[in-house]
């Protein structure tokens, strides 16, 4: 519990307060499940550690590879990009090849498991009702201080009840209707307690700075000039064609061939083999030189 709080929940709160859109499930896999839990499995002399993630492990010419789940509606590859080759050698994902969740439930029923009819959950485990702001307020009292909603020129359009209640790309619930064309949250400035809004086209992002890259492809990540891949910048969106230009072993600029809206610091950018199912790695979007 202490590790989970320190490595996942505390960072989630700090990232949200900094105006980012964190993905704590990735950090949980990286820092708890596939670190301490996996180490415990090895201490017990286990042959491997199996999880219920919907993703596939396949043996390639260079060793184990990570591939998307057979069921695209259940695929969890976005949340597992930081899995290392060493971890992958010890992990198994027995559900990844199943065609649908119905097959999983049928197997659970066949073996008499009580979770066979358990309802699906889309919520973060420590935010069971989806109310992120209330969790942040408990962890960081005073985090919901009010401030101004301004347009891209700095003109005040209204007031807000705390930056933590807003996310990049949000349109509803701004309380500034009737001002003409729809307005979206395009940037958050927690230091000035300002929510900056603008037209939808202001959300379009083509070049994304990415760091803390975990490379699962062949060869050295920064050993070539660029990588032509597909990328996901949100778990619910399909991969888009992109070019990765390495800036070092764990940092790069990712150019989307078609601009994406709602790209936010704190989200993951996950790399996929173009036209294939293999996950080539990924990293974290941040406020870097590309200005994303």
Residues 32 and 81 both lie in one domain:
yes
Domain boundary (202, 229, 245) is at 202
**Quick one: tokens of 75?**
């695929």
Q: Are residues 153 and 246 in the same domain?
A: no
Residue 48 annotated to the active site: no
194 and 212: one domain?
A: no
Q: Is residue 139 part of a domain?
A: no
Residues 106 and 31 in one domain: yes
- Read off the pLDDT of residues 145-179 as tens digits, 9 standing for 90 and up: 889 999 999 999 989 988 888 888 888 888 887 66
Residue given tokens 């200005």 in the structure block:
291
Q: Which of 278, 207, 283 is nearest to 55 (CA)?
A: 278
Contact 168, 21 (CB under 8 A): yes
Q: Which of 202, 225, 241 is the last residue of a domain?
A: 202
User: Is 99 in the same domain as 23?
Assistant: yes
Q: Let me know whether 18 and 61 are in one domain.
A: yes
Residue 122, domain member (yes or no) = no
Q: Do 53 and 72 have their domain in common?
A: yes
Range of the domain at 198: 145-202
Global pTM exceeds 0.75? yes
Same domain, 192 and 276: no
pLDDT at 178: 66
Q: Are 262 and 277 in contact (CB under 8 A)?
A: no
**Which one of 25, 48, 125, 269 is the catalytic residue?**
125
For the question of residue 269 being annotated catalytic, the response is: no
What CATH number should be reported for the domain holding residue 266?
2.40.30.10
What's 22's DSSP letter?
A: -
* Given 25, 28, 48, 269, the catalytic residue: 28
**What is the average per-residue pLDDT within 58-63?**
90
What percentage of residues in the chain have a pLDDT greater than 70?
A: 97
The confidence score (pLDDT) of residue 173 equals 82
| Alpha helices (H) along the chain | 2-4, 10-17, 24-28, 38-43, 85-90, 101-110, 132-139
CATH value at residue 25: 3.40.50.620
**Cβ atoms within 10 Å, residue 59:** 8
Count of structural domains, the chain: 3
198 and 226 share one domain: no
Express each pLDDT in 21-53 by its tens digit. Answer: 888 889 999 888 999 899 999 999 999 999 999
**Both 243 and 256 in a single domain?**
yes
* Residue in this structure with the two tokens 């919520």, named with its chain if needed: 123
């Amino acid at each position: 519990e202490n590790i989970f709080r320190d490595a996942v929940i505390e960072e989630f709160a700090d990232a949200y307060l900094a105006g980012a859109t964190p993905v704590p499930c990735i950090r949980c896999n990286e820092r708890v499940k596939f670190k301490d839990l996996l180490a415990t499995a090895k201490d017990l002399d286990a042959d491997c550690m199996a999880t219920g993630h919907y993703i596939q492990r396949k043996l390639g010419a260079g060793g184990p590879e990570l591939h998307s789940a057979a069921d695209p509606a259940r695929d969890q590859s976005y949340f597992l990009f930081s899995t290392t080759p060493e971890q992958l050698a010890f992990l198994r994902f027995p559900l990844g090849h199943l065609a649908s969740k119905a097959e999983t439930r049928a197997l659970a029923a066949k073996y008499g498991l009580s979770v066979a009819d358990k309802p699906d959950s889309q919520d973060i485990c420590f935010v069971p009702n989806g109310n992120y702001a209330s969790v942040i307020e408990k962890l960081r009292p005073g985090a919901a201080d009010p401030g101004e909603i301004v347009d891209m020129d700095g003109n005040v359009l209204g007031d807000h009840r705390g930056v933590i209640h807003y996310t990049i790309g949000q349109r509803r619930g701004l309380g500034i209707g009737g001002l003409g064309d729809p307005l979206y949250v395009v940037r958050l400035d927690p230091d000035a307690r300002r929510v900056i809004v603008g037209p939808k086209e202001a959300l379009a992002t083509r070049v994304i700075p990415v760091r803390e890259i975990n490379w699962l492809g062949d060869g050295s990540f920064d050993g070539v000039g660029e990588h032509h891949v597909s990328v996901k910048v949100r778990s619910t969106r399909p991969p888009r064609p992109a070019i990765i230009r390495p800036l070092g072993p764990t940092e790069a600029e990712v150019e989307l061939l078609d601009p994406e809206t709602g790209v936010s610091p704190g989200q993951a950018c996950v790399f996929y083999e173009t036209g294939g199912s293999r996950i080539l790695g990924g990293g974290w979007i941040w406020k870097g030189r590309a200005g994303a």
